Chain A
Amino acid sequence: DGGITQSPKYLFRKEGQNVTLSCEQNLNHDAMYWYRQDPGQGLRLIYYSQIVNDFQKGDIAEGYSVSREKKESFPLTVTSAQKNPTAFYLCASKKTQSGNEKLFFGSGTQLSVL
């Protein structure tokens, strides 16, 4: 079955450490997105990519980095510059960048600070 796979489900970060969250999709979707979810704040866009080898900052990109070397993969790195990384991270994809299509979501990664 096609879908989006996020790993790991739970991740712990030590002070000063960079960690990478994996997102893989086999839906042949062009557009991929990373959202951060905090209680009561909804989903906030971190980065998005509408085509391979290109990505754009979202509303809260500081302290994060991404790459899009393959259509199927859009990993997110939480750097040591992100001072408050504890959150639920959701990866999503959409077939194209048109407006009338739904997002497909992964099951999320819960990141906590040790």
Chain B
Amino acid sequence: GAVVSQHPSRVICKSGTSVKIECRSLDFQATTMFWYRQFPKQSLMLMATSNEGSKATYEQGVEKDKFLINHASLTLSTLTVTSAHPEDSSFYICSARQPPGQGDGYTFGSGTRLTVV
């Protein structure tokens, strides 16, 4: 079945530094990937839609300059949290959409727990 690998699973960083999270589709090509943020005991909030070879589409209220998304290939999207602050601490989850004809479903990564100290 379709597999999405998200790395790292946990990261602790100092306030003011940047952190990069990777999301890879291992056995299919994903033209579209999604990045979500999840607060404790809450739902997933869509941050942005990442399309291979073009700029990401950000949801309202999400800072583009703070959450940089790059989707340079059909199997890799990255989320960089720039100048991280404690309020950015959260659980970040990526999702990749399988192409039509290959299930057209959504596969999720296992998430990244970011803690900014």
Check if A and B associate.
no
* Chain A interface residues (CB < 8 Å from chain B): none
* Chain B interface residues (CB < 8 Å from chain A): none
